[in-house]
Amino acid sequence: MFWLGWEKAQPCPLADNDEPKVSIVVAVRNEEESIADLIDDISKQNYSSELLELIIIDDHSEDNTAALIRELTNSTSLNIRFKSLDKGSGKKDAISAGIELASNEYILTTDGDCRVPQDWVASMVRCFVNPEIQFVSGPVKLYPQDTFFQRLQAIEFSSLITSGAATLTLGWPTMANAANMAFRKSTYNEAKVDSKEIASGDDVFLLHSISQRYKNGYTFCRDENAIVTTSSSASLQSFYQQRKRWSGKWQHYNDMPTVLLAAFVFLVNITLLSVPILVFGDYVSWELAINLFVVKMLFEFWFLREGQKFFKTTFLLHEFIILAIIYPAYVTIMALAGLIGSYQWKGRSTQ
């Protein structure tokens, strides 16, 4: 089913009308090493510069991010509006402040540590040629992919992006990533969800809220020119904290299809973990256990391979097999970890 949804996803059609004005909203925290590259990418967009405004909201950075942005603002022709967050804290508050400041109807979001291609704005905004579309989810990939750990992250991350694209295309929106999203400001103001009990989820909660109001109001932009690149986690600890932050969102979802999908994924993987116990207890034969695992891997390899073609990345067979073996334990651990305790993110401890 996911494969059918992924194959159904297509680039948005070329626009015959004039380019609309666009506001790009970026929430940053401690991004002094990467924000200059993002600003440079946006300044080089194949899009009329007078139609673009870049709004950057600083979420209480503890490094040189704010000073660097002010310096860059004075050295570029790009229309940059910079503001330090004065009310609240966290990415959701920063994004909300940026959208409130935006002067245009069409909003794009990305993250301060991302890189965007030259046709990013044009490719994403093109989706709004269809007047029904209120929300656009875009593709994101991890980079670099030089080490074994980075490639494992890239495989797992691409499975999330392609699965989210597939369900969205099938009319069953479950996931989106704020590193690459577009929506109408008026729709955001109508559908905005006040979910103060959790710091994360500015992307998925918005998607769910919009999809409940607009049956055909969302799409995935399967366009190579719209692929946003974001950094892999540098260490196992930072990877754990990031995934714990993501998994913590599931318990707050009220979208039943998404809840059912999360429960299904969890049950499948915890069942796979129990198979060796059932084998040693003589409840299940080795042949049945091996067949189950192999069939599961074949479907997953087939689906992931299609995603790798789109993202123009490669993974070695042994890397996929290793990930497939450890994945059931990984999903189970992260699902349980997301239910308890706080996590560390951007130098801040968050519940």
Q: Which of 244, 243, 241 is nearest to 345 (CA)?
A: 241
CATH number belonging to the domain at 2-233, selected among 3.90.550.10, 2.70.98.10, 3.50.50.60, 3.30.1280.10: 3.90.550.10
What does the pLDDT average to over 129-148? 94
In the prediction, which pLDDT does 351 show? 58
Q: Domain locations in the chain?
A: 2-233, 256-350
Q: Is pLDDT at 178 greater than 70 in this prediction?
A: yes
- Output the average pLDDT for the chain: 90
In the prediction, which pLDDT does 315 show? 83
**Calpha distance 185→210 (Å, rounded):** 12
In the prediction, which pLDDT does 197 show? 55
**Calpha distance 117→96 (Å, rounded):** 25
In the prediction, which pLDDT does 177 show? 94
DSSP class of residue 113 equals T
Q: Is pLDDT at 314 greater than 90 in this prediction?
A: no
**Calpha distance 279→286 (Å, rounded):** 6
In the prediction, which pLDDT does 196 show? 53
Confidence of residue 159 (pLDDT cuts 50, 70, 90): very high
pLDDT-wise least confident of 100-109, 249-258, 280-289: 249-258
Q: Is 57 helix (H, G, I), strand (E, B) or coil?
A: strand
For residues 299 and 198, which has the higher predicted lDDT (pLDDT)?
A: 299
- Please report, rounded to a whole number, the percentage of residues in the chain having pLDDT higher than 90: 67
In the prediction, which pLDDT does 74 show? 86
Determine contact, residues 261/168, Cβ cutoff 8 Å. Answer: no
Q: Is pLDDT at 306 greater than 70 in this prediction?
A: yes
Q: What is the pLDDT of residues 192-232, one digit of tens each?
A: 766 555 555 578 889 999 999 999 999 999 999 999 999 99
What does the pLDDT average to over 252-263? 83
pLDDT-wise least confident of 52-56, 194-198, 251-255, 346-350: 194-198
In the prediction, which pLDDT does 18 show? 81
pLDDT-wise least confident of 51-60, 112-121, 160-169, 201-210: 201-210
Q: Is pLDDT at 275 greater than 70 in this prediction?
A: yes
In the prediction, which pLDDT does 211 show? 92
Confidence of residue 2 (pLDDT cuts 50, 70, 90): very high
In the prediction, which pLDDT does 202 show? 73
In the prediction, which pLDDT does 109 show? 97
Cα angle, residue 350 at apex, residues 262 and 327 outer, rounded to 5°: 35
Residue at token pair 């909300």: 96
Cα angle, residue 344 at apex, residues 343 and 345 outer, rounded to 5°: 115
In the prediction, which pLDDT does 25 show? 98
What does the pLDDT average to over 80-87? 90
Burial of 196 by CB count in 10 Å (0-12 exposed, 13-18 middle, 19+ buried)? exposed
Cis peptide before 144 (omega within 30 of 0): yes
CB neighbour burial string for 277-295, b if at least 16 within 10 angstroms, e if fewer: eebeeeebeeeeeeeeeee
What does the pLDDT average to over 129-140? 96
In the prediction, which pLDDT does 255 show? 79
